[in-house]
Structure 1
Amino acid sequence: MHRIGYLLGDRFQVMALASQSVFEYANIAAGETFYSIENFSVAGGEVRSSLGMAVGTRPLGGRMAIDTWIAAGVNNPLTAPPSAEVLKFLRKAAMRARRIAGICTGGFVLAEAGLLANRRATTHWAYAREMMGRFPDIQLDEDRIYVVDGPIWTSAGMTAGLDLALGMVEKDLGADIARSVAHKLVMHQRRSGGQSQHSEMLDLAPKSDRIQDALNYARKHLSRPLTVEELASQAHLSPRQFSRVFTLETGQSPAKAIEGLRLEAARLMIEKSRHSLEVIAKETGFRDRRHMREVFMRGFGVPPREMRREARPGER
């Protein structure tokens, strides 16, 4: 039996408990009790969730034979740092447990314990830059649903915790069981961890009007090549100045940002229009359909055709 311990702190984000259903249904699909689940807190007893619901927990301590520890997040990790007892416990647990995970902002708990140092990780998009600033030794993949680096697993926010749990089930019991669980839980698409967390359009948010003007121009002319020189002229800057200011304000190079805008526009067209993939590639500025597919695989982890199939069943 594989024992899973959920580490809950005061006002933990209640969505973390939803991921326990993944392990519950894995047992059903496997026809045996492969997973056992217990909730823990520093002192044990009742712990209040972000919704105010009380959950019973066991106290931490002793040499507990837990295979997987999962740290739940909180709605705002900046105002609810983990206790010294939790950090000390996790450092010891990391030497004994098979794997340790942080769901949503639970990644901050692992980071504070030093478990993410020099590792790849992710967290809720709203706190990604805060994590990068506070823990520069983390290789943060801020645009990923979940990340696995050796024995350390981290997920993005909210429902991404279900994807992380399902990834564990696939690792432990195989793809057939994972698909069965996803089907029973009516998970629309089993996401493998490579999909984007959020909209590129919302994430750039430059501080100055001149960079915003250049982005507005780019959004309206995605079918064009959109060189740095062309965008710089819209901002009334030299190409060199534009590249420097753009990167400073958005955290991305102009080329990376434009690729993201093309990707987002193509995704929306695929999901909402009946245009062919060739037309969509042309309208959103990709060289051709093959180029669009390459960028989709990097950005979303699935090809355009598969995304259309999920969004519009029966179409190709």
Structure 2
Amino acid sequence: MPATPHKANIDRSAKPAFGTRPRPRGSRLSVGFILARRFTLCAFANFVDVLRLAADEGDRSRPILCNWTVLSDTMDPVHSSCGVPVVPQERLGDPARFDYIVVVGGLLDEDMPGLSPACAQFLHRAADSGVPLAGICTGAFMLHQVGLLDGYRCCVSWFHHADFLEKFEGLNPVADQIFVVDRDRLTCSGGVSSAHLAAYLVDRHVGRAQANKSLHIMIIDDAQQAEKPQPGVTMGYKTRDPIVMRALLMMQQNIDTPLSIQDIAQSIGHSKRQIERHFRTELDISPQAAFVQMRLSLARHLLTTTEKSIAQIALDCGFCDSSHLSRVFRSNEGCTPLAVRREQATS
């Protein structure tokens, strides 16, 4: 379990300690949500479902041990990135009635409006009252936009790491953990990681058994610690170079139909020579070799964790056929895919 958030800077005479805010009768954990326009429905739903399943016996959904409320300044439906709207339940009101306020972000684009002035003021009142704030998915961007992440470490998805560096100078976002707890700010990369952050809060306030129950019903493995690496594009490559990150992303997105390095360079607006120079400087490997290693890494993963045929794995990883995969695999790994699978079967 991640370390308990630091409390030394909290004046207990002026504000309650982190996680001890008054809550509705019978509830041990109360969460208010602010949904950004075009928020990510998956990240929101995963977080809420952990609370819902922990709040009651079985999956009866009664908000007994936990309660959750979607807040708004206008009460207009908020449309998610997939188009499904969510209707707010209450106006903003007093943030001190919640243990946590969670901002759920979504799509990033040039006309991203950010939070309304009323929501920004509400979040500042929450911070002034000692209510911990959480940013889910690109909610971290929005907390920083309104000046509430200065001096904090924050978690962003590897997918948006370069965007964060470009938009928000002066911060050091963490893109290699599933969530980050820094004092009274909690951030996560979205997707399944929002379920793990919610489980962390349930564990803290309600109990570990309830946290694990929620995840198991959702068919998610046991709760992950904050330091668990994000699954993502790098496939073992760690870099902060935005050009290398974007090239690796293009490779990952086209792993079954490999692009040439020239095509990748054109797609991200750089020359092939620039791409090669950045890969050599940052990873000490050519982009061509990195792409092959990425595909072989996926092939090894599929060989040891699935029952797919070697021929199908070859196609999934961008090789012409099983013979092509075997030749490249033997050249780079010193053994054949069949040998890897047999070793796995006997281990």
Give the equivalent residue in structure 2 for 1:184.
Answer: 217
> 2:227 aligned with 1:196, yes or no?
no
> 2:55 aligned with 1:27, yes or no?
yes
Structure 2 unaligned spans of 5+: 1-26, 236-243, 251-259, 263-271, 306-328, 335-343
Structure 1 residue ranges, 4+ long, deviating more than 4 angstroms after superposition: 29-32, 241-244, 257-268
Give the equivalent residue in structure 2 for 1:205.
Answer: 247
> 2:83 aligned with 1:41, yes or no?
no
Cα distance, 1:148 vs. partner?
Answer: 1.4
> 2:45 aligned with 1:17, yes or no?
yes
Q: 1:254 aligns with which of 279, 284, 287?
A: 284
Aligned length: 254
Cα distance, 1:109 vs. partner?
Answer: 1.1
Give the equivalent residue in structure 2 for 1:127.
Answer: 160
Separation in structure 2 between the aligned mates of residue 75 and residue 191 of structure 1, nearest angstrom: 26
Structure 1 residues 178 and 262: alpha-carbon distance in aligned structure 2, compared to 1, 3 A threshold? farther
Structure 1 residues 172 and 62: alpha-carbon distance in aligned structure 2, compared to 1, 3 A threshold? closer
Structure 1 residues 134 and 266: alpha-carbon distance in aligned structure 2, compared to 1, 3 A threshold? same
Separation in structure 2 between the aligned mates of residue 135 and residue 199 of structure 1, nearest angstrom: 22
> 2:32 aligned with 1:5, yes or no?
yes
Q: Answer yes or no: is the 8 Å Cα contact 2:96–2:131 preserved in 1.
A: no
1:227-266 superposed matches below 5 A: 245-246=278-279, 252-254=282-284
Deviation readout 1:218-254 (Å, 9 max, x if unpaired): xxxxxxxxxxxxxxxxx9x9xxx99974377xxx443
1:1-316 superposed matches below 5 A: 1=27, 2-15=29-42, 16-28=44-56, 33-50=64-81, 51-62=83-94, 64-76=96-108, 78-80=110-112, 81-188=114-221, 190-193=223-226, 194-200=228-234, 203=245, 205=247, 245-246=278-279, 252-254=282-284, 269-273=300-304
Structure 1 residues 203 and 129: alpha-carbon distance in aligned structure 2, compared to 1, 3 A threshold? closer
Cα distance, 1:66 vs. partner?
Answer: 1.1
Structure 1 residues 67 and 98: alpha-carbon distance in aligned structure 2, compared to 1, 3 A threshold? same
Which residue type is aligned with residue 60 of structure 1?
A: L
Cα distance, 1:102 vs. partner?
Answer: 0.9
Structure 1 unaligned spans of 5+: 214-234, 275-279, 286-311
TM-score, normalised via structure 1 length: 0.65
Separation in structure 1 between the aligned mates of residue 115 and residue 73 of structure 2, nearest angstrom: 10
Deviation readout 1:118-176 (Å, 9 max, x if unpaired): 22212233322111122232221113221111121111133322222122222223433
More helix by share: 1
- SS of equivalent residue, structure 2 residue 210: helix
Structure 1 residues 259 and 121: alpha-carbon distance in aligned structure 2, compared to 1, 3 A threshold? farther
Structure 1 residues 82 and 315: alpha-carbon distance in aligned structure 2, compared to 1, 3 A threshold? farther
Separation in structure 1 between the aligned mates of residue 280 and residue 115 of structure 2, nearest angstrom: 33
Cα distance, 1:270 vs. partner?
Answer: 4.4
Q: Answer yes or no: is the 8 Å Cα contact 2:46–2:191 preserved in 1.
A: no
Separation in structure 2 between the aligned mates of residue 46 and residue 204 of structure 1, nearest angstrom: 35
Separation in structure 2 between the aligned mates of residue 157 and residue 78 of structure 1, nearest angstrom: 21
Cα distance, 1:197 vs. partner?
Answer: 3.2
TM-score, normalised via structure 2 length: 0.60
Residue identity (%): 21
Q: Answer yes or no: is the 8 Å Cα contact 1:155–1:161 preserved in 2.
A: yes
Cα RMSD of the aligned pairs, angstroms, is 4.1
Which residue type is aligned with residue 55 of structure 1?
A: V
Which residue type is aligned with residue 136 of structure 2?
A: I
Give the equivalent residue in structure 2 for 1:277.
Answer: none
Which residue type is aligned with residue 197 of structure 1?
A: P
